[in-house]
């Protein structure tokens, strides 16, 4: 059971947007045992779309197409589908009244003829209800392949996939089970890990595949198994994962597909009924943002002070002005003071603080670009560590945020 | 002059990572006049890689391949290239000594045989120096097509594209000019804009294409022109863009490809030598994070207080406890107090504050999910507006951040 994804839109081919739709669709298809063979991104060009439809028709049973369903002239997917399926467009009354309802309820401008055009659908298509927008999904079939055309707006596409597309695929196709397990590690490089688990890797059962996914100080180890018996597969994958602990247990911090360290920290704090605050300089609120991206964070996350200027470190966080003068604003002493003070001000059990220089210019300190201090304050102690994070602004910030969560998790574990 | 991008990696096809490499490469190629015909993402599978190489060979003069060059067993790109080019791998001494140098300088673990394997390259390949990592780029040619294989690690890939690949393409191929201009708008929907500019759109010169790119309360209008005479193209695009101002000038906030509202605000504040601070509740630091993502933000951005809990709104921001009791924490009055107080505490000219309920649970207030208040404080006044942002956590936050920047920019304009 094999699927393909075709994303249509000039904006992808000129690099103006990153195609995140495909990742979502691929993930959802995988969960129900459908392998994605290929993702193809193409321009809003009739002949090119026709070629892509033809090629995918030969290869896959399900083809999901996103984009090009908007009301404006640059969107040609619907017309091209009509050409490919030798079909014509006809107004669909249910879609039209849905569009009229949406406009009445949510839009301040009156409905236009352009908006009404979105109610035109190919006569051979099954219409998939788009509760979040005006362009409906379309399900069409040819030579044993299902073609499913969806709008490119991510949140409309997601609604359609979840509510309309997946249930139909599950009903229509028999699928094997695909099991993924991702072991999350930090603090050791890809090849150093590979050396430590070499024997284990060589002895993996044939139906289990291993992949290394390195990123900014972390490596994810992904185990994939495919087969008919779901429980048996799950057991085998779990057994193999367990064998990793004696080998690299010290660097493993989670083993769920969507685990990230922030979520792990959130779970730990919730369980222990303890709280966290942060004081951020060059990380500019990124620690807070990643923490609060998790629903329910208000239970354990008290807040952040982003003290981007030296002045605010003194005024808001109450860092001693002399401390700054003596040690410079990028120093172990200031990091420690920031963590201690924010913990007190926000009345939390733990605190994390960052001060450093992310470049490209030097800012308020003499420390070279890439020098950062990360401080952790716990109910028992406060300490800071110095790091050299390279010279790439974005990477310095993200590596430091990752490192801060790593340090934090190790400390929270002790309580 | 046409190119393709092939990204290799199971992690893309199972949706574990979003392929952002392609967007970067497409953007860079476009800048030098190379059109990207297609982006294809495929699995780490020998036959599939071979098929993709063959197909792209028929269509395009330049094929850029990323991924599958790591030191571990799941990476098979190099071996597959050898098969396709009827070639063998041979140790490259320059690459080997570069790998040894990197390990000595940056890695705490000793170099292993696995790492040394990365110095093996196809004998027919021109080696492209990867200053940031151990896997070199490879440039190989077949039947008039250049195949360029690069590591998938984004920052290594970016270095290779910029320093090695683009200069070689510029030297080797004659290219037309591609001009893009993107007009950034807010506050009006895609089809409402289309109605207002219908005549203009119908009268666009043939060589200029228009695309609508809507996203969370903003619509970007992208003009693209392609031809031999760069200056003439630029003039024509500029002339057409100018004609938009009498039609929709009130909703345009910028017209550079990379313009975002934060950057526009940054430029305005820098020019006026004025400063900004923020107090964020449910936006969790995202306003601060987007502001500080811009290099040089420390000149005008004083900092943020992320007061995620009611307690911190009172303790850190000094919001009157009675005000919270009387009006609830999600209210116009609290938003106004947050903006006023953070402006004073951080000693800034402007401040923006957010309080609201992003869901999925109700939190500390009785307001329904999606209700938010955004307050702006200027040197002259402070006010807050109420919005209903739907019921999707991520979208509530991002729409509110966008709206906050929109309100802020309008106020800063007055000074």
Q: How confident is the model at residue B34 (pLDDT cuts 50, 70, 90)?
A: very high
Q: Does A58 touch chain B (CB under 8 A)?
A: no
B25, B40, B287 member nearest A38 (Cβ): B40
Quickly state the pLDDT bin for A71 (edges 50, 70, 90): confident
Distance to chain A for B296, nearest Cα, Å:
8
Percent over 90 (pLDDT), chain A: 61
What would the pLDDT profile of A384-395 be if each residue is shown by its tens digit? 999 988 777 888
Inter-chain touch A345–B393, beta carbons under 8 Å: no
Please tell me which residue, B30 or A217, carries the higher pLDDT value: B30
Q: Grade residue A316 by pLDDT with cuts at 50, 70 and 90.
A: confident
**Helical packing angle, B393-412 and B261-272, nearest 10°:** 30
Residues 6+ apart with CB under 8 A from B409: B253, B261, B264, B265, B268
Query: What pLDDT, on a 0 to 100 scale, did the predictor assign at position B161?
Result: 97
**What does the pLDDT read at residue A90?**
95
To the nearest whole Å, the CA of A101 is away from the closest chain B CA by 16
Indicate if the pLDDT at residue A59 is higher than 80. yes
CA distance B119 to B341: 59
Which range of A37-41, A249-253, A290-294, B359-363 scores highest in mean pLDDT? It is A37-41
What is the least distance, in Å, from the CA of B335 to any CA of chain A?
A: 16
- Tell me: pLDDT of A362 over 70: no
What per-residue confidence (pLDDT) applies to B158? Answer: 95
Residues 78-117 of B with CB under 8 A from A: 107, 109, 112, 114-115
Chain B positions touching A201 (Cβ under 8 A) are 73
Q: Which of B180, B194, B286 sits opposite A14 (nearest CB)?
A: B180
The tokens describing A158, both together, are: 């997601």
B324-344 pLDDT tens trace:
999 989 999 999 999 999 999
Residue A108 predicted with pLDDT over 70: no
Tokens (6 digits) for B316: 């850190």
Q: What is the pLDDT of residue A42?
A: 96
> What would the mean pLDDT of A270-296 be, rounded to a whole number?
91
Q: Give the neighbor-by-neighbor strand order of the sheet with B301-307.
A: A382-388, A371-377, A350-356, A276-280, A301-306, B301-307, B276-280, B350-356, B371-377, B382-388
Q: pTM above 0.80?
A: no
Contact list in B for residue A13 (CB cut-off 8 A) is 26, 35-39
Asked if pLDDT for residue B201 goes beyond 90, the answer is yes
CB of B70 within 8 Å of a chain A CB? The answer is yes
Q: Is the pLDDT of residue A158 over 70?
A: yes
| Distance of alpha carbon B77 from alpha carbon B127, whole angstroms | 15
- Across the interface, of A40, A71, A346, the residue whose CB is closest to B312 is A346
From CA A80, how far away is CA A300, in angstroms rounded? Answer: 52
> What pLDDT, on the 0 to 100 scale, is given for residue B128?
97
pLDDT mean across residues, chain B: 90
pLDDT at residue B40, as a whole number = 97
pLDDT tier, B146 (very low <50, low <70, confident <90, very high otherwise): very high
Q: A259 pLDDT exceeds 70? A: no
Nearest to A30 among B14, B43, B192 (CB): B14
> Where residue B363 falls among pLDDT bands split at 50, 70, 90?
low
d(CA B390, CA B402): 14
B37 chain-A contacts, CB cut-off 8 A: 13, 42-43, 48
pLDDT for residue B238 is more than 70? yes
Q: Provide the pLDDT for residue B362.
A: 64
Question: Which residues pair with residue B6 across a beta bridge?
Answer: B40, B65
DSSP state of B138: E
CB A366 within 8 A of CB A326: no
Contact (CB<8Å) B284/A289: yes
CA triple B155-B75-A219, angle to 5 deg: 55
Q: Do A190 and B24 touch (CB under 8 A)?
A: no
Cβ–Cβ of A304/B304 closer than 8 Å?
yes
CB atoms inside a 10 Å sphere around CB B189: 21
With CB atoms and an 8 Å threshold, state whether B71 touches A194.
yes
B76: nearest CA partner in chain A: A211
Spell out which residues of chain A touch residue B155, defining contact as CB-CB under 8 Å. Answer: 392, 395
Q: For an interface test with B, give the residue of A3, A11, A16, A400 to mutate (most B CBs within 10 A).
A: A16
User: Is pLDDT of A72 > 70?
Assistant: yes
The pLDDT of residue A313 = 83
Q: d(Cα A310, Cα A313) in Å, to the nearest integer?
A: 5
pLDDT digits (tens, 9 = 90+) for A145-154: 999 999 998 9
The interface predicted TM-score (ipTM) is 0.75
By the 8 A CB rule, do A21 and B18 touch?
Answer: no
Tell me what pLDDT residue A69 has.
86
- Residue B73 clears pLDDT 80, i.e. is over it: no
- List CB contacts (< 8 A) between B220 and chain A: 16
Residues of chain A with C-beta less than 8 angstroms from the C-beta of B295: 359-361, 393
Chain B: residue whose CA lies nearest to A193: B72
pLDDT of A34: 94
- Tell me what pLDDT residue B259 has: 67
User: Between chains, do B23 and A35 touch, taking CB under 8 Å as contact?
Assistant: no
Phi, psi torsion values for A409, nearest 5 degrees: -60, -40
The per-residue pLDDT for B75 is 81
Interface membership of A42 toward B (CB under 8 Å) = yes
Provide the greatest CA pair distance for chain A.
Answer: 79
Instruction: Give the one of B12, B107, B195 whose C-beta lies nearest to A39's C-beta.
Output: B12
* pLDDT over 80 at B112, yes or no: yes
| Rounded CA separation B260/B204 (Å) | 26
Amino acid B335: pLDDT: 96
Q: Look at B15 and A25 and tell me if their CB atoms are within 8 Å.
A: yes
The mean pLDDT of A205-213, rounded to a whole number, is 88
Query: Which chain B residues are within 8 Å of A24, Cβ to Cβ?
Result: 15
Contacts of B181 in chain A (CB under 8 A): none
Q: Check if B177 contacts A (Cβ < 8 Å).
A: no
- The more confident residue out of B98 and B308 is B98
Task: Tell which residue, A76, A87, A335, has the closest CA to residue B211.
Answer: A76
What's B364's DSSP letter? T
How far is it, in rounded angstroms, from Cα B222 to Cα A340?
49
Query: Which of A112, A291, A292 lies nearest to residue B195, judging by beta carbons?
Result: A112
In terms of pLDDT, which residue wins out, B312 or A44?
A44
Average pLDDT over residues A70-96: 91
Q: How far apart are CA A338 and CA A279, in angstroms?
A: 6
Q: Do A210 and B35 touch (CB under 8 A)?
A: no
Q: What is the per-residue DSSP string for B222-272?
A: EEEEEES-HHHHHHHHHHHHHTTHHHHGGGEEE-STT--HHHHHHHHHHHH
Q: Three-state SS for B170?
A: helix
Q: Which band of pLDDT confidence, cut at 50, 70 and 90, is reported for residue A269?
A: very high
Whether the CB-CB separation of A344 and A333 falls below 8 Å is answered with no
Contact (Cβ atoms closer than 8 angstroms) between residue A222 and residue A259 = no
The torsion angles phi and psi of B390, rounded to 5 degrees, stand at 85, -160
CB pairs under 8 A between A and B: 318
- Concatenate the DSSP letters of all residues of A381-415 into one string: -EEEEEEE--S-HHHHHHHHHHHHHHHHHHHHTT-
């Amino acid at each position: 059971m094999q699927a393909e994804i075709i994303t249509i839109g000039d904006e992808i081919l000129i690099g103006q947007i990153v195609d995140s739709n495909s990742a979502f669709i691929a993930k959802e298809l995988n969960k129900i045992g459908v392998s994605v063979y290929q993702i193809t991104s193409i321009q809003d060009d009739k002949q090119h779309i026709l070629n892509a439809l033809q090629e995918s028709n030969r290869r896959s049973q399900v083809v999901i197409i996103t984009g090009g369903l908007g009301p404006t002239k640059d969107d040609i997917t619907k017309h091209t589908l009509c050409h490919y399926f030798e079909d014509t467009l006809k107004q669909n009354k249910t879609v039209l009244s849905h569009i009229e309802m949406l406009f009445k309820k949510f839009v301040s401008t009156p409905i236009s003829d352009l908006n009404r055009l979105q109610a035109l659908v190919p006569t051979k298509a099954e219409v998939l209800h788009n509760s979040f927008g005006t362009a409906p999904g379309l399900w069409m079939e040819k030579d044993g392949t299902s073609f499913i055309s969806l709008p490119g707006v991510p949140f409309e596409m997601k609604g359609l996939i979840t509510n309309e597309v997946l249930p139909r695929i599950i009903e229509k196709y028999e699928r094997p089970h695909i099991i993924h397990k991702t072991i999350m590690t930090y603090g050791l490089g890809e090849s150093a890990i590979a050396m430590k688990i070499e024997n284990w890797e060589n002895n993996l059962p044939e139906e289990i595949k291993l992949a290394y996914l390195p990123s900014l100080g972390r490596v994810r180890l992904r185990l994939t198994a495919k087969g008919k018996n779901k429980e048996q597969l799950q057991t085998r994958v779990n057994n193999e994962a367990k064998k990793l602990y004696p080998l690299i247990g010290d660097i493993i911090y989670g083993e769920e597909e969507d685990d990230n360290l922030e979520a792990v920290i959130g779970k730990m704090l919730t369980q222990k009924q303890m709280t966290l605050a942060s004081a951020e300089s060059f990380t500019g609120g990124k620690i807070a943002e990643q923490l609060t991206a998790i629903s329910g964070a208000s239970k354990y996350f008290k807040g952040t002070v982003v003290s981007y200027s030296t002045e605010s470190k003194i005024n808001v966080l109450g860092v001693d002005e002399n401390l700054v003068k003596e040690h410079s604003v990028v120093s172990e002493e200031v990091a420690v003071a920031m963590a201690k003070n924010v913990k007190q001000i926000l009345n939390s059990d733990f605190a994390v603080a960052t001060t450093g220089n992310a470049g490209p210019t030097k800012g308020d300190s003499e420390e070279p670009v890439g020098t950062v201090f990360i401080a952790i304050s716990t109910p028992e102690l406060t300490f800071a560590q110095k790091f050299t994070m390279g010279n790439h602004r974005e990477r310095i910030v993200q590596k430091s945020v990752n490192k801060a969560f790593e340090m934090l998790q190790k400390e929270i574990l002790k309580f």
